Structure 1
Amino acid sequence: MSYHVPDWIPFSCLFLASLAASLLMTPVARKIAVALGAIDKPTGRRVNKVPIPRMGGIAIFSGIAAAFALQYIGTMSWGWPVVLVPSPKLNVNYWMLVEAFCVIFATGLLDDKFSLKPKIKFAGQLLAAIIAVAGGLVIGDISNPFGPGFVSLGWLAYPITVIYLVAYVNIINLIDGLDGLAAGISGIASFTMFVLSVMAGRLDAAALCIVVTGSSLGFLRYNFHPASIFMGDSGSLTLGFALGCASLLSVTRFAGLTTIIVPIVIAAVPILDTFSAIVRRTRAHVSIGQPDRGHIHHRLLDEGFDQRQAVLVMYGWTLLLCFGSVVMTQVGTWPRVVIFAALAVVSFLFAKHLHLFEPVLLHHYNPRTGEDELITPADEDFEAEAVKRSEQHWRERDK
């Protein structure tokens, strides 16, 4: 005798499964990281004062894998609703999506162990995105906001989707700088996407979102300050990829402009952090891949906040943006424009207050080597010494 299982039961089970698996696997991940020597040691740019293992992504990925194993069993044996049914306008091969997740996780795991060169790590991200797109996860035509009909992307939809996924991967990676920051923001963003996906009837996206929420919160138990483990690239790349995929799954083949903008608003904090890093490094005439201490969390620490306070401020900022994104989906066109503009202005003013776009990378002439050396404000003693040497060099030269 068949019976209908309410949707909330599978979603609750998926959340609890991912939460429990992540909780149980985090101590295991820490032991693996120690055994493999995947340790973040204190440096002038890092905020940790003691060595911390960095393979927390093992726990995060385990939470996702355990939950979807449960979903498969529930669908096949317990009469759960079939959530792996895409929009009628999409044709997603979910096994290829699983392959893409494995590739992005493996890329991060290898980077945690071997500190891959940027080009190799980018190649792994690109491969994962291409596999997902080849599996049918593609941004389609977009409704014309200025009139009837749709804007057809044609073949451009494929490279645009690849770029979108790679970008989402990196915005979480770049914001992972304080205890609990990336995990907490990912949890808030994924739960917001879960709510929106349920409201839109997108069960596959909702399932992925609630699983990411559980996995993030389970890991956060050990990652919140003072952290005993970092997620590393194995975690940040996996979370970024999951959020990017979830945002695309919740969009129909013919997407409204709002459904494209909302995921960007939800992730606005890490997006703004990434954009400001590109601007200030460009202004400093250095590679955009050059690390610095100009990220949002660094600026908050410089403002006098401790780690917990800085993280909570960024949680609050993200919650505000997520609340605004939910409201945007429930109102008309012009109210949406007003809400979006208000959120953008508030975020810009906060970014300006924190001086996010001002360069923090400095150059000083080193008379010992005869070369121009790059120094960051984190290296205070070295910077002071460099300034002294530079001044002495020019005084001697002027004599």
Structure 2
Amino acid sequence: MQVYILAFVIALFTSWLLTPYVKKLAFRIGALDKPDGRKVHKGIMPRLGGLAIYLGFVVAVLCSMHLSKDVMALLLGGTVILIVGIIDDVYQLPAKVKLLGQIAAAAVLVLFDIRIEWLNNPWGGYFYLEYLSIPFTIFWVISFTNVVNLMDGLDGLAAGVAGIASITVILVAIQQGFYPVAVITAALAGGIVGFMRYNFNPATIFMGDTGSMFIGYMLAAISIFGAVKSAATIALIVPAIALGLPIMDTAFAIVRRYTNGRPIFQPDKGHLHHRLLAMGMTQRQAVLLMYIISAILGIAAVLLTEVGGYYAAIIIALIITAVVFGAKKIGILNDR
């Protein structure tokens, strides 16, 4: 059995087996999501499910990988962001405090020299970041951490989209021979898939910030790890395109709130999943449609690894054009 398959299976079964126990723990410590006017669900829900994903991931990595300095950095940073998420799920941290926790987790990677130091020029050569390396790395990690968090609005949505993105990264890592990246990402994907048994509509537990921030953080960290080890910026581009749906949704939310004079971090009901529900779709229909879009973006990300700079630019331009056109059609930029 290939090691990445083993990592996926171990994580899947660990997450699947532990989620019911995590659910009991969530009720015990008060990590509960109560409905309000903006949220879709109606009853009180436990929201510590990300702990099961984390445990599945850690067990799989420990069973399938050599604990090198880099792997230890990923585990340590993931643990820091997990702790921030658990505290937030129980006590609802202020945004600034949560941001400080995300910066601390990102700083772990920098301290272990897992950072973005240069970028490929598609037409030849490199862009060296030099003194911008550390702030760019921290910005990259925080951005991924929050886009997955903001996507977590319907049963199974964030988990499914992140799972599709993870599988995309695995395929490209195997294709390019980045096997450590494939194994680590397989462990993450397995943990997500195991948890999906309880999170798909109708969900019995939410991943909470514990899960959404951990998944976003790990995808960011894995992409940087891949870029460092493979000496190829494609390791950064692939997960960014695979997560194109939540990234663009977040970008539209920022533009929408800014143009309407609202605080950028103030929640609203203008996200893509809200608009799909307003159009008459059920939760399952909306989630499945967004899975399909994410899968198409994943395929586009894989294609990018096979083409040259000009063709890559054309693919990216087509993706952005299609997303902007679709956003205008469903009114995602409108004030809601």
The residue that corresponds to 2:127 in the other structure is 151
Does residue 142 of structure 1 match 2:119?
Answer: yes
Q: Note closer, same or farther for the CA distance 1:41–1:284 as it changes in structure 2 (3 Å cut).
A: same
User: Is the contact made by 1:281 and 1:288 (CA closer than 8 Å) also made in structure 2?
Assistant: yes
Structure 2 unaligned spans of 5+: none
Listed one character per residue, the Cα deviations across residues 140-166 of structure 1 (whole Å, up to 9, x for unaligned) are 2223334x4322111211110110001
Structure 1 unaligned spans of 5+: 1-7, 73-81, 86-91, 361-399
Where has structure 1 moved over 3 Å in runs of 4 or more? 252-260
The residue that corresponds to 2:106 in the other structure is 129
The residue that corresponds to 1:176 in the other structure is 152
The residue that corresponds to 1:44 in the other structure is 37
Q: Secondary structure at the match of 1:142?
A: strand
The residue that corresponds to 2:265 in the other structure is 289
Structure 2: distance between partners of 1:120 and 1:207: 33
Does residue 226 of structure 1 match 2:202?
Answer: yes
Structure 2: distance between partners of 1:212 and 1:254: 20
The residue that corresponds to 1:166 in the other structure is 142
The one-letter code matched in structure 2 to 1:238 is F
User: Is the contact made by 1:55 and 1:112 (CA closer than 8 Å) also made in structure 2?
Assistant: yes
Listed one character per residue, the Cα deviations across residues 80-121 of structure 1 (whole Å, up to 9, x for unaligned) are xx5x67xxxxxx633233211110000000000010111111
The residue that corresponds to 1:13 in the other structure is 6
The one-letter code matched in structure 2 to 1:52 is M
Map 1:244-323 to 2 at 5 A.
Answer: 244-252=220-228, 255-256=231-232, 258-323=234-299
User: Is the contact made by 1:25 and 1:59 (CA closer than 8 Å) also made in structure 2?
Assistant: yes
The one-letter code matched in structure 2 to 1:44 is G
The one-letter code matched in structure 1 to 2:90 is K
The one-letter code matched in structure 2 to 1:276 is F
User: Is the contact made by 2:78 and 2:217 (CA closer than 8 Å) also made in structure 1?
Assistant: yes
Structure 2: distance between partners of 1:308 and 1:314: 10
Which protein has the bigger helix share? 2
Structure 2: distance between partners of 1:13 and 1:255: 26
Structure 2: distance between partners of 1:316 and 1:23: 24
Q: Rg: which structure is higher?
A: 1
Listed one character per residue, the Cα deviations across residues 8-51 of structure 1 (whole Å, up to 9, x for unaligned) are 52212111110001001110111011111221112110000111
Q: CA RMSD in A?
A: 1.6
Map 1:305-344 to 2 at 5 A.
Answer: 305-344=281-320
The offset of 1:339, in angstroms, is 1.7
Structure 2: distance between partners of 1:15 and 1:187: 12
User: Is the contact made by 2:227 and 2:235 (CA closer than 8 Å) also made in structure 1?
Assistant: yes
The offset of 1:283, in angstroms, is 1.6
The offset of 1:186, in angstroms, is 0.8
The one-letter code matched in structure 1 to 2:100 is A
The residue that corresponds to 2:183 in the other structure is 207
User: Is the contact made by 2:169 and 2:238 (CA closer than 8 Å) also made in structure 1?
Assistant: no
The one-letter code matched in structure 2 to 1:33 is A
Structure 1: distance between partners of 2:235 and 2:52: 31
TM-score, length basis structure 1: 0.81
The one-letter code matched in structure 1 to 2:178 is R
Aligned match of 1:100 in 48, 61, 77? Answer: 77
Structure 1 window deviating more from structure 2 (63-72 vs 287-296): it is: 63-72
The offset of 1:261, in angstroms, is 2.8
User: Is the contact made by 1:140 and 1:254 (CA closer than 8 Å) also made in structure 2?
Assistant: no
The one-letter code matched in structure 2 to 1:264 is A
Aligned match of 2:46 in 53, 62, 72? Answer: 53
The offset of 1:257, in angstroms, is 5.2
TM-score, length basis structure 2: 0.96
Structure 1 window deviating more from structure 2 (168-177 vs 249-258): it is: 249-258
Count residues in correspondence.
Answer: 336
Identity %, equivalent residues: 38
